[in-house]
Amino acid sequence: MSFFKKLKEKISTQTDSVTDKFRDGLSKTRDSFVGAMNDLVKDFREIDEDFFEELEEILIGADVGVHTVMELVEELKDEARTRNIKHAEDIRPVISEKLAEMLQKSENESKLNMQPEGELTVILFVGVNGVGKTTSIGKLAHQFKEDGKKVVMAAGDTFRAGAIEQLEVWGERSGVDVIKQQAGSDPAAVMYDAIQSAKSKKADVLLCDTAGRLQNKVNLMNELEKVKRVLAREIPSAPHEVLLVLDATTGQNAMSQAKAFGQATDVSGIVLTKLDGTAKGGIVLAIRNELDIPVKLVGLGEKIDDLHEFRAEQYVHGLFADVLQEAEQALDDGRD
C-alpha cells in the first residue's frame, strides 16, 4: 500500500474537527513553506544539484534545522536515484513521505504515559517563563476533566509574580482543585502537599507547574531535581511524564531551551505552543529529529480546547493537503 493511501486511511479514522484544527493551525507555515516549494518546482523542471541547494534554503528558512535538513536532502537524493525520479514535480510527494517518517519514529509515541485506572498519574511541566506553560496546564486539566477524570493542579511556580493566581484562574475555569502555598514558598513542599491531596481525593491526574526562572540556570535545574525527588519519594514511578513546554514562534531558541532542559532533567515529551502563530512550523521536525524527544501536545489556537495530541499524519496533511490531493488523483487515475 502506498504512503498516501496509508495516510488517508489514518486520517479517515480521526474526526474532521482534528483535521481542520491542524490544517487551519498550520496555515502560516503551509503558505510560507509549501508556497516556496511550489515556486521551486516551477523554476526547476528537472532535479539537479541546484534544485536541492534551493530546497535546503527553503527548509532551513522554515526552521527545520540544519542537521535535519542535510539528512533529509540526502535521503531525498537517494530516493530520487532509487525511484528514478527526474522531474521536480514528482519529488514533492516524496518530501511529505520523508517528513512523516522523521516525525513518528514509533507507533503511539505521542501518547501520554497514563497510569492504569485507580492509580495516580503525575505529569510535571517544565520550561522558561513566557512560553505558555501555565496555560497549557490549564488546558490539559480541562481536557482531562471533560474526559471524566478527577484532576488536581499543583502551583509549584512560587517565584514568578502572578503565577499562582494564574493557575487558580484556570482551576476555576476548569472546575479543578489547585494546591498552593504563599508566593516564595518551597516548590518541593507544594508538591508534597499536592501529592497528599491528590491521594486523599482519589484523583486520577496531578498536573504540576514549576518555576521557569531562578537566579541562574544551575539553581533552576537543582530546584527541578528537588521537586522530582519529592514526587518519586511519594510515588516511586513518578513523575510519569516530564513535559517541556516550548514556544514555536521562537524557532531555534526553542531548540536551545530543549537542549538545556534535556541535559538537566529527563524530558519525556514536548508541548509546542503557538504553532498556529508561526510560519516556521518546521521546528517540530528539528526537535523530533535532532533531540530525539517526541512532540506530545501542540497548541493550535487560544481557546481552552485548542491544545491537541500531536499526530504526525495530521501535521503532514496540514502542510501538504494540496500535494496529497494531487497524489490521490494520480492514484485514482492509475498512475501511481
What single letter denotes the amino acid at residue 162? Answer: G
Q: Say if residue 28 carries a ligand binding annotation.
A: no
Residue 212, marked binder: yes
- Ligand-binding annotation for 169, yes or no, is no
Residue 48 marked ligand-binding: no
Question: Residue 16's CB: how many other CB atoms inside 10 A?
Answer: 9
**Residue 274 burial (CB count, 10 A):** 20
Q: Specify the DSSP element, H or E, that contains 123.
A: strand 121-126
Is 127 within any annotated ligand binding site? yes
Judge contact between 300 and 25, C-beta under 8 A. yes
Query: Residue 15 annotated as binding?
Result: no
Residue 211 annotated as lining a ligand binding site: yes
C-alpha cell at 277: 502563530
The Cβ-side half-sphere exposure at 26, using a 13 Å CA radius, reads 29
- Return the residue matching grid coordinates 518546521: 282
246 is in an annotated binding site: no
How many whole angstroms from its chain centre is CA 227? 23
Does residue 292 have a known ligand-binding role? Answer: no
Report the distance separating Cα 336 and Cα 331, nearest Å: 5
Omega into 239 within 30° of 0, i.e. cis?
A: yes
Q: Is 274 annotated as a binding residue?
A: yes
Q: Are strands 307-309 and 295-299 parallel, antiparallel or unpaired?
A: antiparallel
DSSP state of 32: I
Is 128 marked as binding a ligand? yes
DSSP 65: -
> How would DSSP label each residue in 213-254?
--SSHHHHHHHHHHHHHHHHHHSTT--SEEEEEEEGGGTHHH
Structural element, H or E, at residue 268: none
Amino acid sitting at position 325: Q
Helical (H) or strand (E) element with 207: strand 205-209
Q: Is 133 annotated as a binding-site member?
A: yes
* 26 assigned ligand-binding residue: no
Q: Annotated binding residue at 276?
A: yes
Instruction: Find out whether 68 is annotated in a ligand binding site.
Output: no
Binding residues for GTP, as ranges, are 127-134, 209-213, 273-276
Annotated binding site: 127-134, 209-213, 273-276
